[in-house]
């Protein structure tokens, strides 16, 4: 097994699949990178038994086809230290790999592929195509709301649903919920739903970052797994078994108060509030009037913060007081691209809806915090 190839192309390929290579595992074989030479194509694979990623790299073969395992961290480190654009790789008897570039020679141990887990095959099921930019946007607006509470595994991923030709991505950790949707053009799909683990979505997002916005991504869904693929990669992941909560029950059917505020002003005011709020459970107190919002934070051991932001009241009347975890509010605002943000809520401790002024397909809901002393705070 011998081939030569572009060092840059090989490093890019490894960068894709090593996201599924485990560095902390009880199975040492999973720390390896799988290489398979077939003609002038080198197939690379990583597999941690939860997520499997595959990509291909064009090479110039000067030997017979074959396959081998090489320690991923070692191989990646070698390539990063080689300045040559073209490298030559020879595998002898599946136990020794020789990497040559200009005057540099590495001889490293490798191993046969016999004990490597079988790469998951793509099961048949519902399939649709979505643009890379759209898929990146769906993940970006929801991934940060995934829960890491291992006692509630059904919240440890993004809930993906297709209903009447509309694709929904939903994530929640019990304190906030993020929903992003889009219409699938020309898709004639049956309705379905599944929960895709955080790791799979996070690694997919990183892969998509290096792709053009107009690239098509094929999505295949079955009862036990989901696969994302293009001409450059294949990512296969198990799905999370369990019942995702009915997010529609969290969406307020009516809001007494609706305010419009500059995203830039609100984002920066909340960011400044974290300096004080970070030492008092991240609590910020908000008081709305018809044309202003006062944001306050205080910490007994540190001090106080107060800032006034201009707002426009679009619905409701009277002053309104409400308190939130400022970090959760910031997450929601950062997911909005428009210049203005809409805040919708009722009195008391009902959920607050944060929306874009221009994007109706994104909804972020954050639960308020009950503060016993809030009603007595001077503003």
pLDDT of the residue at 376: 41
pLDDT at 346 over 90: no
pLDDT at 323 over 90: yes
Q: Which candidate, 173, 323, 336, 315, places its Cα nearest to that of 256?
A: 315
Q: What is the pLDDT of residues 188-208, one digit of tens each?
A: 788 899 999 999 999 999 999
Secondary structure (DSSP) of 66-134: EEEEEEHHHHHHHHHH---SEEEEEEETTTEEEEEETTEEEEEE-B-STTSPPPPP---SEEEEEEHHH
Q: Which candidate, 134, 302, 290, 282, places its Cα nearest to that of 217?
A: 134
Instruction: Read off the pLDDT of each residue in 43-56 and give the average, rounded to a whole number.
Output: 94
Q: Which candidate, 192, 198, 236, places its Cα nearest to that of 49?
A: 236
**CATH no. of 2-109:** 3.10.150.10
> Residues with Cβ < 8 Å from 140, sequence gap 6 or more?
205, 335
Q: What is the pLDDT of residues 354-363, one digit of tens each?
A: 999 999 999 9
By 3-state DSSP, what share of the chain in percent is helix, strand and coil, each rounded to 5? 20, 40, 35
CB atoms within 10 A of CB 61: 17
* Ranges of H-type helices in the chain: 7-17, 72-81, 132-140, 198-209, 263-277, 326-334
> Residues with Cβ < 8 Å from 256, sequence gap 6 or more?
315, 316, 345, 346, 347
Token code pair at residue 287: 């008081």
> Residues with Cβ < 8 Å from 118, sequence gap 6 or more?
none
The CATH topology of domain 126-248 is DNA Polymerase III; Chain A, domain 2 (3.10.150)
Confidence band, pLDDT 50/70/90 cuts, at residue 378: very low
Q: What is the pLDDT of residues 83-116, one digit of tens each?
A: 888 999 999 877 899 999 988 899 999 999 998 9
- DSSP, collapsed to helix, strand or coil, labels residue 26 as coil
pLDDT of the residue at 373: 52
pLDDT of the residue at 11: 93
Q: What is the pLDDT of residues 107-154, one digit of tens each?
A: 999 999 998 988 887 777 788 999 999 999 999 999 999 999 999 999
Q: Which candidate, 334, 343, 336, 347, places its Cα nearest to that of 365?
A: 343
Place of tokens 């005011």: 269
pLDDT at 375 over 70: no
> Residues with Cβ < 8 Å from 209, sequence gap 6 or more?
136
pLDDT of the residue at 379: 38
Stated length of the chain: 379
Tell me how far CA of residue 72 lies from CA of 32, 45, 59, 76, in angstroms: 5, 10, 19, 6
Q: Please give the mean pLDDT across all residues of the chain.
A: 91
pLDDT at 347 over 90: no
Task: Report the C-alpha gap between 215 and 16 in whole angstroms.
Answer: 16
Q: What is the dihedral of CA 371, 368, 151, 223, to 10 degrees?
A: 170
CB atoms within 10 A of CB 228: 23
Instruction: Read off the pLDDT of each residue in 57-84 and give the average, rounded to a whole number.
Output: 91
Let me know: does 258 contact 227? Beta carbons within 8 Å. Answer: no
Percent of the chain with pLDDT over 90: 76
Place of tokens 């020789």: 98
pLDDT at 377 over 60: no
Token code pair at residue 83: 């300045």
Residue 57 carries which DSSP code? E
Note the pTM of the prediction, 2 decimals.
Answer: 0.91
Instruction: Read off the pLDDT of each residue in 340-366 and give the average, rounded to a whole number.
Output: 90
| CATH of 254-376 among 3.60.20.10, 3.40.50.2300, 3.10.150.10, 2.70.240.10 | 3.10.150.10
pLDDT of the residue at 263: 96
pLDDT of the residue at 374: 47
CB atoms within 10 A of CB 46: 26
Percent of the chain with pLDDT over 70: 97
Q: What is the pLDDT of residues 240-279, one digit of tens each?
A: 999 999 999 888 888 899 999 999 999 999 999 999 999 9
Classify the C-alpha dihedral 195-156-322-275 as positive or negative: negative
Query: Which residues in the chain are classed under CATH 3.10.150.10?
Result: 2-109, 126-248, 254-376
pLDDT at 304 over 50: yes
């Amino acid at each position: 097994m011998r081939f030569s190839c572009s060092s840059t192309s090989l490093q890019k390929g490894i960068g894709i699949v090593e996201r599924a290579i485990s560095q902390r595992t009880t199975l040492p074989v999973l720390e390896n990178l799988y290489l398979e030479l077939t003609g002038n194509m080198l197939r690379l694979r990583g597999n941690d038994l939860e997520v499997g990623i595959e990509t291909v790299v064009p090479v110039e073969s000067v030997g017979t086809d074959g396959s081998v395992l090489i320690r991923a961290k070692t191989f990646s480190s070698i390539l990063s230290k080689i300045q040559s654009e073209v490298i030559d790789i020879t595998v002898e008897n599946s136990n020794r790999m020789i990497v040559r570039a200009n005057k540099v020679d590495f001889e490293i141990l490798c191993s046969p592929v016999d004990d490597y887990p079988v790469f998951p095959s793509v099961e048949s099921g519902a399939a649709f195509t979505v643009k890379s930019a759209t898929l990146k946007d769906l993940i970006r607006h929801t991934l940060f709301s995934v829960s890491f509470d291992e006692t509630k595994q059904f919240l440890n991923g993004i809930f993906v649903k297709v209903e009447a030709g509309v694709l929904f991505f939903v994530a929640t950790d019990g304190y906030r919920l993020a929903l992003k949707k889009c219409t699938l053009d020309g898709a004639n799909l049956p309705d379905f739903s599944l929960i895709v683990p955080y790791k799979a979505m996070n690694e997919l997002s990183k892969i998509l970052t290096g792709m053009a916005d107009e690239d098509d991504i094929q999505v295949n869904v079955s009862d036990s797994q989901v696969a994302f693929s293009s001409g450059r990669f294949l990512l296969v992941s198990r799905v999370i078994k369990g019942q995702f909560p009915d997010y529609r029950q969290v969406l307020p059917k009516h809001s007494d108060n609706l305010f419009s505020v500059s995203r830039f002003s609100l984002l920066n005011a909340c960011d400044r509030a974290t300096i004080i709020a970070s030492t008092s459970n991240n609590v910020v107190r908000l008081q709305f009037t018809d044309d202003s919002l006062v944001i306050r934070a205080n910490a007994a051991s540190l001090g106080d913060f107060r800032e006034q932001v201009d707002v426009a009241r679009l619905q409701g009347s009277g002053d309104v007081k409400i308190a939130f975890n400022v970090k959760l509010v910031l997450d929601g605002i950062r997911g909005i691209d428009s210049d203005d943000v809409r805040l919708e809520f009722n009195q008391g401790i009902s959920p607050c809806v944060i929306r874009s002024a221009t994007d109706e397909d994104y909804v972020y809901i954050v639960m308020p915090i009950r503060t016993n002393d809030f009603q007595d705070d001077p503003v």
